Amino acid sequence: MVNSKAANSTAIAADTYDNDTTIDKHELASLPTKESQPTTDMPEPLVFEPSKEIVELSKLGGLSMVIQTLIASIFTALVLVMPWLIIYTFIKVSWLRIPLAAYVAFCYFDPAVDNGIGRRIEWVRELGIWKYVNAYFPVRIVLEEKLDPSLSYIFGVSPHGILCFSGQVLMGSKRSGLDEALSGIILHPAALHYALIMPLFGAYLLSIGTISSSRRSIRQCLARGKGHSVGIVIGGAKESLHTNRGNRKLVMKNRKGFVREAIMAGAPLVPTYVFGENDIFYQVEHPILRRLQAWLQTKMMFALPMFYGRFGLIPRRTPLTAVFGSPIFVQKNPSPSFDEINQVHAEYILQLHRLYSRFKPIYDPEGDDLVIA
pLDDT in tens, 171-181: 988 999 999 99
The enclosing H or E element of 357 equals helix 338-363
Burial 113-145 (b: 16+ CB within 10 A, else e): bbbbbbbbeeebbeeeebbbbbbbbbbbbbbbb
Statement: residue 311 has pLDDT above 60: yes
Q: What is the mean pLDDT of residues 180-207?
A: 92
| Cα distance between residue 243 and residue 46, in whole Å | 28
pLDDT in the model for residue 116 = 92
Q: Which of 191, 271, 197 is nearest to 15 (CA)?
A: 191
Q: From the CA atom positions of the chain, what is the Rg in Å?
A: 20
What confidence category does residue 24 fall into, taking pLDDT thresholds of 50, 70 and 90? very low
Three-state DSSP class for residue 328: strand
Statement: residue 7 has pLDDT above 50: no
pTM reported for the whole predicted model: 0.85
pLDDT in the model for residue 106 = 94
Q: Could you tell me if 229 and 178 are in contact, meaning their C-beta atoms sit under 8 angstroms apart?
A: no
What confidence category does residue 216 fall into, taking pLDDT thresholds of 50, 70 and 90? very high
> pLDDT for 128-155, tens place per residue?
899 999 999 999 999 999 999 999 999 9
Which of 33-42, 290-299, 329-338 is most confident? 329-338
Half-sphere exposure of 232 (CA within 13 A, CB side): 34
| Cα distance between residue 372 and residue 352, in whole Å | 10
Q: Which of 116, 142, 144 is nearest to 214 (CA)?
A: 116
What confidence category does residue 41 fall into, taking pLDDT thresholds of 50, 70 and 90? low
Statement: residue 37 has pLDDT above 80: no
pLDDT in the model for residue 245 = 78
